[in-house]
Chains A and B, each alone.
Chain A
Amino acid sequence: KQEVTQIPAALSVPEGENLVLNCSFTDSAIYNLQWFRQDPGKGLTSLLLIQSSQREQTSGRLNASLDKSSGRSTLYIAASQPGDSATYLCAVMDTGRRALTFGSGTRLQVQP
């Protein structure tokens, strides 16, 4: 059974810092990995989707990498802003099923 772990569970940084959020998964047989952002009381917003054949994806100040063989992904946020404060969730889709397995998220707070 796929398990997804996100470290750290919470992170507080001053505005302007570059930061890295970590995600690890136990079964490397995946179709893709997706990073989401969730604001309090809201649904999930898709940030980046990495297919299993890809190594990384970039969108603006966000860069996500995937190392399938070691079961790891990182989300890099450059020049963090207070508006980046949210919970960031990592999820993987296994080759055996079409359901995403989520981690518990990293709660990020960027201090102005």
Chain B
Amino acid sequence: GAGVSQTPSNKVTEKGKYVELRCDPISGHTALYWYRQSLGQGPEFLIYFQGTGAADDSGLPNDRFFAVRPEGSVSTLKIQRTERGDSAVYLCASSLKSTGELFFGEGSRLTVL
């Protein structure tokens, strides 16, 4: 596809469960970002990949959150032992270069019951 694709669009899970959220960036974009957005707020940075490596993971809130991008394309955000406070929309973005224009996906809405 032409844009950033995120799956699932909606995920409802129970407290304590493990969740994976997937992002397929625009073809050829080397930079990939994960953000989290709560209702009425702007997105908050989680992690940034340049190629396969996590260049900046300073936004990850704690060690329950982890992200990978093994082949430099698709990325997966993994959340262990989910808590109700993890409920939010998780947004993925990609960019042709690290200082370029970011293009966002539609997001994955996570609800932890």
Enumerate chain A interface residues (CB-CB to B < 8 A).
4, 31-32, 34, 36, 42-46, 49, 89, 91, 93, 97-105
Also in contact, A46 and B102, with CB within 8 A (given A89-B42, A98-B31, A104-B42):
yes
Also in contact, A43 and B48, with CB within 8 A (given A102-B42, A103-B42, A104-B41):
no
Q: Which residue of A4, A42, A93, A97 contacts B42 across the interface (Cβ within 8 Å)?
A: A4
Q: Which residue of A97, A100, A103, A105 contacts B102 across the interface (Cβ within 8 Å)?
A: A100
Enumerate chain B interface residues (CB-CB to A < 8 A).
4, 31, 33, 35, 40-45, 48, 50, 55-56, 58-59, 91, 93, 98-107
Q: Can you name the residue of chain A whose Cβ is closest to the Cβ of B3?
A: A43
The smallest C-beta distance from A95 to any residue of chain B, in angstroms, reads 9
| B105 and A32 contacting across the interface, CB-CB below 8 Å | no
The smallest C-beta distance from A15 to any residue of chain B, in angstroms, reads 25
In angstroms, Cα B39 to Cα A104, docked, is 10
Q: Which residue of A43, A97, A101 contacts B56 across the interface (Cβ within 8 Å)?
A: A97
Q: Which residue of B31, B41, B99 contacts A31 across the interface (Cβ within 8 Å)?
A: B99
In angstroms, Cα B56 to Cα A101, docked, is 14
